[in-house]
Structure 1
Amino acid sequence: MNIPTMDDLNFTDSKVLVRIDINSPIDAKTGKLLDDSRIRAHIETIKELTSKGNGVVLVSHQGRPGDSDFTDLEQHSKLLEKYLGMEVEFVGDVMGPYARERIKNMKSGSVLLLDNVRFVSEELIEASPLQHSKSFLIRRLQPFFQGYINDAFATAHRSQASLVGFPLVLKSSAGRVMEKEVSALAKVFNEEESPKLFIMGGGKVLDSLRIIENLVKRRLADRILTGGLIAELFAVAKGLDLGKENLQVLEKVGVLSLVPRARKVLLSGAPIEIPVDFKVEREGKVYEEPASKINGVIKDVGSTTVGIYSSFIRDAKIIVMRGPMGVIEDERFRESSRSLLMNSLESQGYLIVGGGHMISLIGGLGSLDNSKVHVSTGGGALLLFLAGERLPALEALDMSFREMLKK
C-alpha cells in the first residue's frame, strides 16, 4: 500500500480534520482518566499543523455505548490544552448545527475538539469506505475542510465512518503517530532486517497464537520466545506435565482447547522456544523449578530461561516484545519481564514494544532512544497487523492516494 504522509500534502492555512485516538482508561468510580499517554502521543501532529496556520478540528471516541467508560470528551480537551500549551475549544456536539457553526467560525492556528464521535450511531457501523463516504457524518462535515489526517493507528482495524469515509472525499494522509507505527511495523516484513526475534507472553493466548501462526506461515520469525500462558500452551503441546493445578487453570481459561493448533504449529518446524524453568507459587512462597518437574502454580519464567532468552536477544536485529513473561501485577513476578526488556533496550537491535503491560514497565525506565525503540499505541490494530490481517483505515488512505494520482 501507498500511505501518504503529512510531508506529501503539507497543509498550510487550511482547515484540517484530524482523527485521533484518545480513548483512555477511566476510573469507574470517579469518572476520571487514569492514563493520558494516548493524548500525549498526538501532540506532535497537532502542533505541526497549527504552526502552519491550519485550523485543526479533532475527532475521537471514548468507550462504547453501555460501557462504564462511555463518556464525553470534555476532560480530554483539558489535557490536550495542558500538553499543547494552547486553548482547545471543546464542542459538545459532533455534526449538528452547533458543531458546524463552531468549525465555520474557527480562527487560523486554533484547535477544536468535537465530542465523542460514537454519540453518532453511524460510527458504530462496520461498512465499506464507499458506503461510509455517503453517510450523514461525512456529508455534513466534509464541506468545511480542505484535508483529513488519520493519526489513530490504535483504531486502524475498524472500518467505521470517521476512519474510512473521509479519505474518499478529502485529500488525506497519515498523521505522525500513524506514520511512525506503520514505519516501525514495516520492519517486521522487511526481509533484509534479520534475524527477527519475537517475544510473546501475556494472557491473551488466542491472539498470540494467531500471530505465531502467521509468523510461521510467512517465515517472518527467526525465533519465537514464549512466556506467560502461551508458553504453557506450547509446553503442554510438547508433552510436558505441568501439574494438575496448572492444567486446571489452563482448562478454566480455555487454553487446553488450543493444544491441537499449537501442536500443529510445532510439527511445522516453527522456531518456538519454551521456558526450561518456571517461577511457581506454592503455599504463598516462590520457588524456581525445572519445566519437567513442576510443583506449584506457574507465575513467571525462571532465571535460567531468562539467561537463554537474553543470549538470543543479543544477536537479534529486530525484536518484537508483546506481553509479559509472568504475572507482573505481583512485584515478585516482574523481574524476568523487566530483565528481558532491559536486555532488549541495551542490545543492538530495533525494539518494538506492544501491549499495555509491557508499556507500563517501560514507563519507569526514563527517556528512550526513539531511533532504537518504538512503543506502539495499538492494541487490536497491532495484533491484526502482526497477524497479517487487513487494516481498513490504512486501506482507505491507500485508496485516497490512488485517487489523488488520477487527478
Structure 2
Amino acid sequence: MIKVNELNIPTLDDLNFTNSKVMVRVDINSPVDVKNGKLLDDSRIRAHVDTIRELVNKGNSVVLISHQGRPGDNDFTDLSEHSRLLQKYLDLEVEFVDDVMGPYARERIKNMKSGSVILLDNIRFVSEELIEASPLQHSRSFLVKRLSPLFQGYVNDAFATSHRSQASLVGFPLVLRSSAGRVMEREVSALAKVFNEEDSPKIFIMGGGKVLDSLRIIENLVKRRLADRILTGGLIAELFAVAKGLDLGKENLQVLEKVGVLGLVTRARKLLLSGAPVEIPVDFKVEREGKVYEEPANKVNGVIKDIGSATVGIYSSFIRDAKTIVMRGPMGIIEDERFRESSKILLRNSMESPGYLIIGGGHMISLLGGDVNVSSSKMHVSTGGGALLLFLAGEKLPALEALDISAREVLKK
C-alpha cells in the first residue's frame, strides 16, 4: 500500500491476483502520423509490458482498455496497430476486439482462457467515457454495469490520465477489487517523496515556457511548505526577476508581454514578499546581434536565452545537498545548441547527486543522453504530463481517489 497525500493506494502486491479475470486500464495513447495513421512513438505501449506480463505469469486472463485521441481529432483512431505492437513487446498473442462493451466484446471476454490477453477497442468510442462525473455516478454507467460482472479485479496502470474523472478510470474501482499497476505504482511512489518530510531538503528546479502552470505549482509548494529551495530558469525566472524589480531591458519585457506573462507579476511579487524560497538567476546568457554574451541579472543587454554560468554554480551547490530533486522544464532555449549547456549541467549534477531525482517529462527527457549512467533506483522519469502538473499544483487526481475509495470500501467486503 502506498500512502500519498492522505490517500492509500493498493498495489499488485496487496491484491496478488492469481487465476482471475482482470481488467487493466492502460494509457497507450500515442502520437499518430496523420498522413498514414501510423504511430510515431510506442514508448507508452512498452511501459505497460511489466504489469501485463506479471499478471499473465500468475495465470490471469487480462483485458486491456485504453483510449486514443478524442472524437474529431486527427489522432482519434482504433487500437488495431496498438495491439500489434503490444503483441511484439509482450512476445505473446494479443487479441484485438473491435468492440468495447457490446455482445461481441462480452462474449470474447467470457470465453478467455487462462493467460490470454485481449485489447478492447478505443474506450472513447463509448460516449460515457467522454463525461466527467463522480466515481459513484460512473459506477452506475452502462460501461461499468455491462463489463464489471465479467471480472474479478481491476488494475489502473494509467497515471498519465489519472487527472480525468471518467468511467474507465474511476467507475470500476467502486465495484471491483482494485489496485495500481506497476507504472502507476512507480509514479505514485516517486511523487510521494514530495510530501514526505523525511525526504528533505527538497529542491524544485522550475523552467520552460509554461509560466502559469509553473506559478501554480510554486504557489502550492509555498502554501504547503513542501520546498526548501525553488530554483528558477526559463520564462518563470524572468517573471520573478521583473517582480523583484530587476530591469531586464525593453526586448525581454516585450517577449514577456507577447506571451501574456506580465499580468502575473503581482502574483509573483506576492510570493517573494511572503518569503517564498524562490531563487532567481544572478546572470543570464543573452543573444545580441547573433552573438552570445553573459550578462548580470541587474544589467541585461540582449534577449535572454538561458541562465548564466554563475547561476549554474549556485544552483549546483543547492542540488548537492538535496535529498529530493524535482526537475521540470529546461533553463534555456534548448532547441538551440548554444543554450542547452546549463540544463545539461544541472541535469547531470542532479543525476550524480546523492538525492532522488524526479524528472517531469517533456523537454527534459530529450536531454537524457547516453553520456550519464544512473541507477533507476535513484531517478524517476514521469510520464504524467497534465497529471503530474496538477499533482504538484495541489489538485486532486480522481483516479487515485477512486483507488483509495476501493481500498476502504471494496476490499473490506
The TM tier, using the shorter chain, reads over 0.9
Output aligned runs, 1:45-194, within 5 Å: 45-194=51-200
Greater CA drift, 179-188 or 355-364: 355-364
Question: Residues 318-359 of structure 1: CA distance to partner in whole angstroms, max 9, x if unpaired?
Answer: 000011111112222111111110000000000011131112
Whether 1:316 and 2:322 are equivalent positions in the alignment is: yes
CA separation of 1:341/1:32 partners in 2, compared to 1, >3 Å: closer, same or farther? Answer: same
Provide the rounded CA distance (Å) in 2 between the counterparts of 1:402 and 1:363: 43
Select which of 262, 274, 286 maps to 2:268. Answer: 262
Q: TM-score, normalised by structure 2?
A: 0.96
Residue aligning to 1:22:
28
The structure-2 alpha-carbon separation of the partners of 1:357 and 1:26, relative to structure 1 and needing over 3 Å to count, comes to same
In 2, Cα distance between equivalents of 1:347 and 1:201: 20
Q: CA separation in 1, counterparts of 2:339 and 2:45?
A: 30
The corresponding residue for 1:355 is 361
1:288 is aligned to: 294
Amino acid at match of 2:305: K
Percent of residue pairs bearing the same amino acid type: 84
**Aligned partners of 2:266 and 2:194: how far apart in 1?**
27
Q: Could you tell me how far apart the structure 2 residues matched to 1:89 and 1:300 are?
A: 49
1:39 aligns with 2:38: no
Give the AA of the match of 2:28.
Answer: I
Confirm or deny: 8 A CA contact 2:176 2:410 kept in the other structure: no
Q: Normalising by structure 1, report the TM-score.
A: 0.97
Q: Where does structure 1 lack aligned partners over 5 or more consecutive residues?
A: none
Pick aligned residue for 1:238 from 236, 239, 244? 244
1:402 aligned to 2:408? yes
**Preserved contact between residue 22 and residue 151 of structure 2 (Cα < 8 Å):** yes
User: How many residues end up aligned between the 2 structures?
Assistant: 407
Q: Deviations over 1:49-76 (max 9, x none)?
A: 0001111111111111222222222222
Alignment pair present for 1:4 and 2:10: yes
Match of 1:228 among 221, 234, 243: 234
Residues 43-52 or 383-392, more deviating: 383-392
Task: State the shift of 1:129 in Å.
Answer: 0.5
Secondary structure of 1:165's counterpart equals: helix
Q: Is the 8 A contact 2:173 2:402 kept in 1?
A: yes
Rounded Cα–Cα distance in structure 1 between residues aligned with 2:117 and 2:175: 22
CA offset at residue 219 of structure 1?
A: 0.8
State which drifts further: 264-273 or 239-248.
239-248
**Range that drifts further, 223-232 or 62-71:** 62-71
Q: Which amino acid aligns with 1:49?
A: L
Q: 1:303 aligns with which of 281, 306, 309?
A: 309
Q: Could you tell me which residue of structure 1 aligns to residue 3 of structure 2?
A: none
Q: Which moved more, 1:261-270 or 1:304-313?
A: 304-313
1 CA distance for matches of 2:100 and 2:117? 15
In structure 2, distance between residues paired with 1:366 and 1:161: 41
Question: Following TM superposition, by how much is the alpha carbon of 1:162 offset from its aligned partner in structure 2, in angstroms?
Answer: 0.2
Q: Give the drift of 1:367.
A: 5.6
Gap change, CA 1:405 and 1:139, over 3 Å in 2: closer
Over aligned residues, Cα RMSD in angstroms?
A: 1.4
State the AA in 2 paired with 1:260.
T
1:373 partnered with 2:376: no
Cα gap change, 1:278/1:142 in structure 2, threshold over 3 Å: closer, same or farther?
Answer: same
